[in-house]
Structures are given as C-alpha cells and as structure tokens.
A and B are shown apart, each in its own frame.
Chain A
Amino acid sequence: MNPVNYLYLSALLFTIGATGVLIRRNAIVLFMCIELMLNACNLAFVTFSRMHGSLDGQIIAFFTMVVAAAEVVVGLAIIVSLFRTRHSASVDDASLMKL
C-alpha cells in the first residue's frame, strides 16, 4: 500500500484531535484529544521514516512517547487537583478570572 495514505490518516487523526479540543468541555476528554494529536504526529513520523528510508523518524516517535508520558503525569495531577476542589472537570466552570 502506498505509504502516503498513512499520512492522510495521520492528518485526519490530528484534525479529529484538534476539533475535539475545541468543542469538548471535559478537561479529561480535552486531554485525551491532545494525546490523539500527539499520536497522529507519531504516525506521521513513522510514515515519513518509511518513505525516506532513514531511522530518524522512528527514534523521534520514541521521544514523543516519553514526552507524552511525562505530560500525562503533570496533566493528570493538575486536572485531578482541580476536580477534587470543584467536583467537576468541566473547563467551562473554571471561569474565576473571566473579564
């Protein structure tokens, strides 16, 4: 199969993730959408790596996974502390500083 199709898939996944971040309201779901975007990046890296015949892209995918894992640790800590304070993870409720 032509590897370019995987690039289209990765762009589609990235768009789904970005749309999800913009329209969903639950902080956890938002966060999952961001993870989807990072995974779409991984798919793009691996596909380009296959097309170029160089291993760089596959190595970068590992770096991305580690960074995503670190982001999960920090992000969940912040979201859980917000949830325990407010008993809601909705990002619309967090509006203390709105003008």
Chain B
Amino acid sequence: MMNGRAQMNIVIVGHVDHGKSTVIGRLLADTGALPQGKLESVRESCRRNSKPFEYAFLLDALKDEQSQGITIDMARCFFKTAWRDYIIIDAPGHIEFLKNMITGASRAESALLVIDIDEGIQENSKRHGQMVSMLGVKQVTVLVNKMDLVDFNEKVFEKLKADYSDFLAQIKVKPVSFIPVSAREGDNIATLSERMPWYRGATVLEQLDLFVSDKQLQDKPFRFPVQDIYKFTRENDDRRIVAGTVAAGSVKVGDEVLFLPSGKQSAIQSVESFNTAPKQLASTGDATGFTLTTQIYIRPGELMVKPSEPLPEVGTRFRVNIFWVGRAPMILHKEYKLKLGSARASVKLAEICNTLDASDLSYSKNKHQLDCRDVGECILETSRPIAFDPASASETTGRFVIVDNYEITGGGIVLENLSADETLLQRHIREREHNWEKGLIKSEERELANHHKAKFIAFTGLSGTGKRSVAKALEQGLFKNHLVAYYLGVANIDRGLDADLGYHVDNAGERLRRIGELARILTDAGLIFITTIDDADDYDIETLKQLNEPSDILVVNMGENSFSRYHPDLQLPVGVSVSDAVKEVASMLKTKEIIIEYHI
C-alpha cells in the first residue's frame, strides 16, 4: 500500500572544514526536514551573539537536542524530495575517523564529495575519493563549494574540475558530475543560481534524484553465499534449509545448483519463507532459504551457484587491493582471519606488490608491511580454497575483510585468482625438505627392525562418533603385537605445542600445520602415528598429506562422510564396536602391507 516510496543512502565525504555540515544543513532546510522554528531560533541566536549565521550551527543545535529525541543526528540525517526518501550519512572529515567514514560509505549507494574551492584539493579530498571507489560506491558527484569566495568564477571552477578529474582518472573513478555551489548561500543546492549563469546543469537536489538505485545485480550469474544450514526439529519440522541472502542473480525451484568449493551438486526443491505466499523464485537481495532435492553435506561458507552459468573462481591464492585500518600493521606471513561472503578462512599476506599513499598518489614498492591507512596491492593466501569472483565481475562476492585479534582491521577487493602459483605451503615444504638433516639410519632399516612401515593414520568424522576410543584401542592392539605405534590426543597439543596459539579461530591453519609437522617427524622416526581430527575436510587432509611427505597418510572416517571428493581409506559406521573397528583397520593395514600380521 504505502510502501511505494524509494529510499537511498547517500554518504557525504570530503576534507575537514570544506563544508559538509553546511551542505547537509542546507539540504535539510531547503527540503523542509527541519523541526518547526528551528531555523529561526538558530538565526536569532546568531544575531544575539553578533556572528554570521552558518548552516553548520544548525547541525550543532540539532545535535544538542538529540537527548530530547528529535530524529536527527550527526551520523545520519533524514530528508525527502518529491521523488524519494534520503538518508544522508555524514562521514567525518578528520583522518582519525576513517573507520566511521568506511562504515558510512560502505552502506551508501552514492556519494557527494565536497571540495572547498578556496582551499583546493586536500589530503582527504583524495583519500576519500579513493576509499569511496574501493568501497564500491559507483556514483560520485563532486560539490565544488564556497564558490562565493571566488566570485562565482567559472574559470576557477573549471581548473579545479580538471585537476580533480585527473586525479580520479588515475584511480579509475569517473564522477557523475561536478556542481559549483555555495552551500552557505544556497547557490545550486535546491535552485539554479543566478550568480552562476554559466552553469546550467543539475542542482544538488536534482542530482540526488538522478542517482540510480538499482545496482543491476539481478542479471548477473546467481551467487548465494551459504550463511547457515538449519534443521529445527521442534514441532516435527523435518526441513533441512540452506539459508542465506542472494548476492546476485536469481534461482527457481527445479534449478540445478553447485556448491563451491566442495563441488557438490543438487537441485532446488523449494524456496522457504515464513508468512508469505508460496515462492518459486528467489532473487538478488532476498534473505531466503532453500531445501534441496538430495541430502548432501554442505557447510556454511560455501557459495551456491548455478552450473549452467559462468562459475566463480576457486582458489587459495589471489591478488587483491587492501586498505588497512588496524592500529597494528599487517605483517607478511602472519595468520589472519578472512571473511568473504559467508566464507571464513585463515589467511596470510604472502606478498606486498606495491602500496599507494593516496594523499600524494606516490607508489612504494618496498614496504614490508601495511600500516594504518595504507592501500596496498597484495597477494593473499588462504589455508584452504574459497570460492569468490573478481570484484570487477561480481562485487558482492569479490570483497572481503581481514580480522586481526577479534577486530576488523582491513577490507579489500579481489583482483584476480593466482591459484596456479606455488603456494606458501608448497614453498615451505620444498624448503623444509631441502634442508632436512638425515640421520645415519635408513627408513628401510627401521622397517626391518620394527616389522612394519611408518604411517600416519588420521581418524576423521564429526565429534562424538567414537573415533578417539578406536584410535586408542588401535594403538594398544598394535603395541601388543610388538609394533611401534603412538596415539596423540589432540588436546595434548592444545595445551602444549600449541599453547602459544591460544584459542583464536584465526590459527586453525597453524594448528593443522603443526600436526602435519609432527607427523613428518614421527613417521621419519619409523612410527605408526595415530591421531584424530574433528570435522576435517578435503583440504585439511590434503594439507596433512603434503606436510607428512615423503611418508603417506591413511584416513579412517567414522560416521557421516563430510568429504566432497576425497575418499577415505576406510569408512566405519557410527556405533561399530571398538574391537570390530580395530580389526577392520588392522586388516586394512595388512592389505596395504604396512604390517605383516596382526594377532588379536
């Protein structure tokens, strides 16, 4: 019924004191968004104090009134034109408030960038221009403010327009328009100024209404970051719902779908919702859910796409642009957490290609860390593959944030997939093996003495499947057969070898590496090394396999098989008796000629 009015978020940026507050005050006053009598009372108080009236005072006055609940504030202002409703997000011009500016700008569909014609292009005029562009705000209009200070001179305006256009071109931004204004005097804000007859373009208000709201994501390939999998059993609900928000494109009942990076496939059985008419279709922006025609095991963080459409990239190594806002610098080879779409992965900064100082557009090729407010073209490496798009192809699945020590400290966009390169892990193993110091005993000699080959046996499966009991019983059984086996409880590493890692999720990659390194050492020592890994996926096993080389890994999976392509060497059902399980493992070890015989 009354939901017809469109709404748009606009961010207003620019250097401190270039007149952002005045522009906002003017917009509010000229669109009648101010509380009754407010304007008059501020004018009156200015007169009493013999100071010239400024629209910025109006904002200050409104701020003072916040505690009385007038619906306005320094962060967001609401006003409307005949055509739609606007929320103006006032991004602070001070450099210390960069985090607030980012938060504001990343919620905006378009931006007004204010430059004081008298002071000219300043540091934040440039920095904000670049940030707004990286944050994906495609429509930028530049307000050249304080035209009254240069006698509304067209030449001065054209000069600044040319200079700033040059800068924007270098960072590949094409502004929608430049508008010469005097926010204080109201020129070209709501009505065209008679004092600038040479300008016959849109007024600021007209320009706002000209900004396009739809981001045209509807026609892009379908992208659905899986946020969660729900199975609420209350009231006999047996739906297993894949939940999330459609990032681009659309999907309908019956469509084939593919999950990446796991590669699993299924088809849409239903589009789920609450208190709506039945749905057949879900499209861009819908926070929705699906049931699938087949029961497949997928995890939150996968990207659901349609195999019939252009596929996203899958990889562990990619070239990105990052801007860093952390107090501590971003350091090479340190482990961070990456959040991209619904995926989370541990990530390392593998290389810094170059960094850009936006204030003077100088590039630096020899930085070894990203400092606060640096923008850098870098190479990132995740510990396991994730699905993504280059931001140029699909912005919502091509942008990410970096978390350091619980805080979001950086954000960026993906430029290209570099997964064909040697990974940090491969390089690490290559260098490790190159420098490996061997003792005087050959592995064949150990095998002869021990009567078995060295092997790393990993028990996988969800927690609570009884894999620890089997793993321990296997160790005991092998021991009774005079074989050299060792079971390692994972908790022992947490409090020991991994004590320095704490409980950060970010360190998952490092924890896994250490298990792999232990396996390398213990298999080199000739042991049958047994441990358990909760909820492992293909990439965990692949990582362990590589780290354990030249020895080999055997995987015994208990219960539901959560691997997508990897085939465990042995699959055991949940509820199998411990002795039967051990017998099965032992017989596999015999078949694979790791042990020669096994007596119960």
The answer to whether A and B assemble together is no
Q: Which B residues fall within an 8 A CB radius of A?
A: none
A residues within 8 Å of B by Cβ? none
